[in-house]
Structure 1
Amino acid sequence: MTRTLAVSLAASVSFAAVAPAYADASPELIAAAKKEGQLTVIALPHDWCGYGAVIAGFKAKYGLTINELNPDAGSGDEVEAIKANKGNTGPQAPDVIDVGLSFGPTAKEQGLIQPYKVSTWATIPDAAKDKDGYWYGDYYGVLAFEVNKDIVKDSPKDWPDLLKSDYANSVALAGDPRTANQAIQGVYAAGLSAAKGDASKAAAEGLKFFGELQKKGNFVPVVGKIASLTQGATPIIIRWDYNALADRDNGKGTAIDVVVPQTGVVAGVYVQAISAYAPHPNAAKLWMEYLYSDEGQLGWLKGYCHPIRFNDLAANKKIPAELLAKLPPAEAYAKAVFPTLDEQNAAKAEITKGWDSVVGAQVK
């Protein structure tokens, strides 16, 4: 990703409006997908980005069965699932993946994904897509603190606060930082805060920060989820704001606070791609058409993700006012930083390699 994208996404509306209406997927594609009859997805928990409703909407619209693999998998696991099932046309072979930005170009280089340009291609910012259509941004958010207020009375306001004795045995990542993009970005964000915005030092400082968090007994080596949060096992989770905001609405009686830190505000773009070995390639293409339609994009926004076509939808007044009212105020995102692909790749390599030796916590 480029810094240009960072500026554009942070703005309320900065991309030129394109045509306000788009045709549905072609009858030929719909027919071909229905003939295949099934789509296999991976790593799509229903409480992530509104995916539960998005999946239901796709099934209702086209009548296809969706086979859902390992909803708790990380981006690295998704790529490995393609590799492991190259010659497999059975139910364990994913047709599509939804991964962190840095995983898209890597998967392309390894020949694991195939190109496809959706009908709304022109409304996806150039900086958020592969020019040949191998991968394309779908949504973005920022790393935030999700806090169980029934247990933690004073929410942390910034990364250094997490080191306080008040938060002993309380802080968790939402994934394994050796494989999961969300967790890797969490380490990076903490480091960017410690490095005062110096991206070249963020990974090292992030590892050092979590090493200190582990040493103080504040870090919990468990993958943080809504269940562990409400049960008190991980009363503070570092995770994408859209997941935390969805939990706030669905906490089932638990009071949840969502805090965007004062420094080290890291935004992350996720990308979609179709497996080069997809057993159901037409169903995969139809899935992409749905995700990048107005309906699909608004489905993600209802799950508190900023869809990649957000500015286009806003320019064409397609976002319901009541939906906009539920989103956090724009000033919470004013300091958001969108790491470049080079920065992400360098940080991912350093964090995944150094976690065991510097931090030494086996996240499970």
Structure 2
Amino acid sequence: MACPDRWHAEDPGVSIVKAYRPRGSRRAATIAVCAVSALAALATGCGAAPTADAQNSKAGKAGSAADLGGMDKLVAAAKKEGELNVYALAPDWANYGEMIEAFEKKYGIQVNNENPGGSSQQALNAAAKRKGQPRAVDALDLGTAYMQDAKAKQLLTPYKVAGWDGIAGGQKQADGSFADNYGGYISIGCDAAAVKTCPETFKELLKPEYKNKVALNGNPTESSSALSAVFAASLANGGSLGDVQAGLDFFKELKQKGNYVPAESTLATIQKGETPISIDWDYLNLGYGDKLKPKGVDWQVNVPEDGQYSLYYNQGVNKYAPHPAAARLWLEFVYSDEGQNIWLKGYSRPALLDKLEKDGTVDKVASAKLPEVTGTPKSASPEQEAAAKEKVVQGWGKAVG
């Protein structure tokens, strides 16, 4: 599964992946969180306060594990810190539950996962506002537009993981500030019991039979997944990666017809029957299907042929990380063969899938569960994402308000 250089200006519309193959089963895991009240957290944060010069420590300046003397030294330094602060990593999102559990078990480092249901914008805000605080975010997982924003705000510090050379050139920043880690496709999930005929295209979503049934996973002014749904809708309605106005117009029409539901689509809202149709990442919709099947819900998932859009989420180290070694070890883990296969088990496509297949280290059972997709899904460049985000922030309220 080749990954073209999706950041090349000469060909900004090339898909990040040639074939569509989402993941296997995902299981939620218990995530370690701060056992303090919200008020106490505001005052003190989780765990012991880091040293004031964490940013200027050897770990804080390390651009690779080699700068610390190798992986063993990085592991030792991270274990000494004992904690890792992350933000908005939902356990059922791309198999994050298993990812966090595996990291904690392997290294004995407590992961403090704040606001697991939060958005990319909220995670970015937390990183920007907590400089120098013990509860500052150590490592960031953001959609491209938000990671670009983090870089522009000088919140990132370069770090190249051991597998850096295996990441395609168009999937990483040359300076090491961030890189693609896992990704997926916009899809349409549907409760086949609540909907007579499940829609397979954006055009079909406008039919009167879907009144009060269609929802997004979040607000596109704050959420990368919802913003990507606008991209997909734009492509399905004559728009382009460079101008998503057609996507805004689509959701405006969807709202006018009474089909759009403003509630954020989650597993809970689906189970309650509040959002029987959800436009979301394929790996989330497929994961919902796994969880809903034992409850007797037939959750069907389709990647719309008229709006095929793909996106990777990125990982980066916060320049102001209070646990700089743990932050770097976290990146090493999520880009390792073990970490990449955990993403694969969560139906998402790991950035290093080609390497896993070439080296014979891929989880073949999980890989075999990834369905095919016809056509060539498109993916926006960082610049196109940033422009789309600005346009959507200005126009979303007018479209569906």
Q: TM-score, normalised by structure 1?
A: 0.91
1:18 corresponding residue in structure 2: none
**What one-letter code is carried by the residue in structure 2 that aligns with 1:10?**
K
Identity of matched residues, %: 38
Deviation sequence 1:295-328 (CA, Å, 0-9, x none): 0000000001100001111122222332222111
1:215 corresponding residue in structure 2: 256
Match of 2:203 among 140, 149, 160: 160
Match of 1:245 among 280, 286, 295: 286
Matches within 5 A, 1:1-364: 1-2=7-8, 3=11, 6=14, 9-10=17-18, 26-90=71-135, 93-195=136-238, 198-201=240-243, 203-251=244-292, 252-253=294-295, 254-329=297-372, 332-360=373-401
C-alpha displacement of 1:40: 0.8
Q: 1:74 to 1:56 in 2, by over 3 A?
A: same
Determine helix, strand or coil for the equivalent of 1:278. Answer: coil
CA contact (8 A) 2:341 2:363 kept: no
Aligned residues: 344
C-alpha displacement of 1:74: 1.3
**What one-letter code is carried by the residue in structure 2 that aligns with 1:226?**
L
C-alpha displacement of 1:335: 2.6
CA contact (8 A) 1:208 1:359 kept: no
C-alpha displacement of 1:87: 2.6
CA contact (8 A) 1:4 1:127 kept: no
CA contact (8 A) 1:47 1:243 kept: yes
CA contact (8 A) 2:15 2:376 kept: no
Larger mean CA deviation between 57-66 and 73-82 belongs to 73-82
C-alpha displacement of 1:290: 0.6
Question: For structure 1, which runs of at least 5 residues remain unmatched after alignment?
Answer: 13-22
**What one-letter code is carried by the residue in structure 2 that aligns with 1:214?**
K
CA contact (8 A) 2:16 2:310 kept: no
CA contact (8 A) 1:175 1:182 kept: yes
C-alpha displacement of 1:153: 2.4
Please tell me the root mean square deviation across aligned C-alpha atoms, in Å. 1.8
**What one-letter code is carried by the residue in structure 2 that aligns with 1:40?**
N
Q: Distance in 2 between matches of 1:63 and 1:116?
A: 22
**What one-letter code is carried by the residue in structure 2 that aligns with 1:249?**
D
Q: Distance in 1 between matches of 2:364 and 2:351?
A: 19
Deviation sequence 1:71-90 (CA, Å, 0-9, x none): 11111111111111113113
Larger mean CA deviation between 105-114 and 281-290 belongs to 105-114
Question: For structure 2, which runs of at least 5 residues remain unmatched after alignment?
Answer: 1-6, 21-65
Deviation sequence 1:263-299 (CA, Å, 0-9, x none): 1100011100111111111000110111111000000
